[in-house]
Amino acid sequence: MVDGHIGGLDFSSTRTFLSIKPVLFIKRLIFQVMIGRYHPLTQFIQTITAYFIGIGFEVMEGPEIETEQNNFDFLEVPADHPVRDVQDTFWLAQPANSLLLRTHTTAIQAHLGHNRQPPMRIITPGRVFRNEATDATHQSQLYQIDGLVIDQEVSLANLVATLESFLKYLFGKEVGLRFVPHHYPFVEPGMDAHIKWAPKGRWLEVLGSGMMHPEVIKNMGYDPETWRGLAFGMGVDRLMLLYYGIDDIRHSLQNDFRFLRQF
């Protein structure tokens, strides 16, 4: 269990306990601590990245401010097609530059090509932004983790196996699991992973994924005849909500101690 950790010195605590006399306190040379904790989203990010590091992935991080080019065009999400509607965007109020707050951690793919050659396995966590109305299941700022594998031989069968192992690791071996086709412009074939708790329960979408689109591989500067890739992405807030049965996604960024101190 991730409990608090102990250590450090703090001479200035003046909190009045129920019936303790301050005098007693100050005179004593004490080795006193407060119990610190991680935010549950961080616990999730650390657990998930550790899992993928264990199967040969390396962690990369990208910037929150992105160009339209990196966030959309590079990933074959054209400006004049309704597929852009799927991700409502925060554009920075700078007419000249088409800068935005990244809508997905998939934007990392644009940063890969120049600096390295395949094969590679990358996992990338980070904060992303959606310009939509906030409610119990929607927030304008959320956390995602994207992953990809580029190699000479990698297939849909590898993708299914990888996601199944991961989801069973996270949610337990008994979790109901299914893979269904879904469309994302940057993967083809595209796929969603759904989980289900009880036999009569609802299927819940938890992961988007697919084989990296050959055009994206080309955009990276690699030869799609030689290199192929698989990619996947998940919403960490959503996974956290499902895992713990949390009622409202907005708790993540409100930081009420009644929320934080439960984890």
Partner 1 sequence: MKLPISWLKEFINVDKTPPQIGDIFTMLGLEAELVEGEVIDLEITPNRGDALSIYGLAREYAAATNQRLLSPETNQVEFLNESSLLKIINQVPALLTRLSGLVISIDEIKPSSEKIQRRLQSVGIRPINNIVDITNYVMIELGLPLHAFDFDQIKNSTMVFRLSHDRELIRTIDERTYHLPAGIIVVEDQNRLIDLVGIMGAANSSIRPQTKRVLLHCPIINSTIIRKTTQQLGIMTDAAYRYERLVDWGLAQSTLKRAWYLIDKESSAQLVEAFDHIYQPSLQRTIPVTMAEIHKTLGIQISADEVGDYVTRLGFTATRKKTTSHVQVPSWRIGDVKYPADVIEEIARLYGYDKIPKTPLPKTKVKIQVDDSFTLKSKVSKWLVGQGFQEVLTPTFVSEQEIKLLDYKPGSQHSVQSSADNPDTRYLRPSMVITLAKVFVRNNWYGQLKIFEIGETFAKKNEQTKVCIAQTGHQKKYWLQYVPQSEIQVISSDHPLAKHLKLRTTVTFVETDLEALREQVKRVETSESTLTKVNYRPYSRFTPVVRDIALIVDQSTSTEEIRQTIASIDERIFLVDFFDEFKSDKFGPSQLSRTFHVIFDNPKSPTLESVIDKIWQQVVKSVQERGWVIRG
Q: Enumerate residues 26-45 that contact partner 1 by CB under 8 A.
A: 28, 30-44
Pair 99, 91: CB distance under 8 Å: yes
Q: Judged by CB under 8 A, does residue 64 bind partner 1?
A: yes
- Helix, strand or coil, per DSSP, at residue 144: strand
Of the pair 132, 223, the CB lying nearest partner 1 is at 132
CA distance 259 to 256: 5
Which one among 108, 110, 191, 234 touches partner 1, defined by CB under 8 A? 191
Closest C-alpha to 45, from 170, 134, 140: 170
- Is residue 87 a contact point for partner 1 (CB under 8 A)? no
Q: Check: CB of residue 169 under 8 Å from CB of residue 51.
A: yes
User: Shortest Cβ distance from residue 240 to partner 1 (Å)?
Assistant: 9
**Is residue 136 at the binding interface for partner 1, with CB under 8 A as the rule?**
no
- Residue 141 touching partner 1 (CB under 8 A): yes
| Binds partner 1 by CB under 8 A, chosen from 26, 69, 134, 137 | 134
Angle at the Cα of 107 from the Cα atoms of 101 and 108, rounded to 5 degrees: 120
Minimal distance in Å, beta carbon 262 to partner 1?
A: 5
Q: Which of residues 197-216 bind partner 1 (CB under 8 A)?
A: 211, 213-215
